[in-house]
């Protein structure tokens, strides 16, 4: 008798509402423009980013329109204040390769490097790994902050590849197994106890 692999749904919700202790992530809406631009207008957020002029209104308008049209953009809301503090996006879900990209992430500087950033990543990764086996991160080579951040959560260097505009990018991958054994998954277990 022939053995069959268990059925696994390959539908992936790219715009869920995810709630943690500190943050709520929900789908980006048109009426989020002013609050999100207020965060994004800080030039220091973008100083290591390949699009370092994204703090300018005309440049951010295009980023915002692309985010809305992507079908995968989320805003991050500080649950204590109700304020939008940043954004991220799921992109490029591939059912055959069983992977999705997480990127286009930014947070207001006062939320960098701490519990908020960790919770945002944990919520998005835990959601992704319900469906996929791998999450990739595509980062500008000079963006040391983002590279360190994904390395810190267990992502490993995969390759250098061009982005859609032909610019060199560094690609990292995080597997479901590495996530389950890593620090962020441990935080999830602590949150549920």
Q: pLDDT by residue (tens digit) across 81-111?
A: 999 999 999 999 999 999 999 999 999 999 9
Structure tokens at 170: 């560094």
If we measure between CA atoms, which residue out of 94, 70, 76 comes closest to residue 40? 76
| Cross-strand partners of 170 | 139, 160
pTM (predicted TM-score): 0.87
Residue 187 near residue 122, CB atoms below 8 Å:
yes
Residues 139-163: pLDDT tens digits? 999 888 889 889 988 999 999 998 8
What is the predicted pLDDT for the residue at 117? 86
Residue 128 reports pLDDT greater than 90: yes
What is the predicted pLDDT for the residue at 164? 79
Alpha helices, DSSP H only, in 10-130?
33-40, 57-70, 115-128
Class of residue 57 by CB neighbours under 10 A (exposed 0-12, middle 13-18, buried 19+): exposed
Residues 24-75: pLDDT tens digits? 999 999 999 999 999 999 999 999 888 899 999 999 999 999 999 999 999 9
Structure tokens at 152: 């810190």
Residues 166-191: pLDDT tens digits? 889 999 999 999 999 877 765 544 44
Sketch the domain layout of the chain as residue ranges.
18-192
Percent of the chain whose predicted confidence (pLDDT) is above 70: 90
Looking at domain 18-192, what is its CATH homologous superfamily? Gcn5-related N-acetyltransferase (GNAT) (3.40.630.30)
CA–CA separation, 132 and 10 (whole Å)? 8
């Amino acid at each position: 008798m022939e053995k069959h692999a268990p059925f696994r749904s390959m539908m992936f919700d790219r715009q869920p509402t995810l709630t943690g202790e500190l943050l709520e992530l929900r789908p980006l809406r048109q009426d989020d423009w002013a609050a999100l631009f207020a965060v994004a207008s800080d030039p220091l957020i973008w100083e290591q980013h390949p699009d370092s002029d994204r703090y300018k209104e005309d440049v951010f308008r295009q980023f915002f329109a692309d985010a809305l049209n992507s079908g995968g953009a989320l805003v991050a809301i500080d649950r204590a204040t109700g304020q939008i503090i940043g954004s991220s996006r799921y992109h490029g879900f591939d059912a055959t390769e069983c992977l999705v990209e997480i990127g286009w992430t930014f947070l207001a500087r006062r939320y960098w490097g701490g519990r908020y950033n960790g919770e945002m990543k944990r919520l998005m990764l835990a959601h992704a790994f319900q469906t996929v086996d791998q999450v990739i991160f595509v980062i500008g080579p000079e963006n040391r902050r983002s590279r360190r951040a994904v390395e810190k959560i267990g992502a490993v260097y995969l390759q250098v590849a061009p982005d859609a505009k032909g610019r060199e990018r560094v690609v990292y991958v995080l597997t479901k197994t590495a996530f389950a054994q890593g620090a962020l998954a441990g935080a999830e277990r602590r949150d549920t106890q």
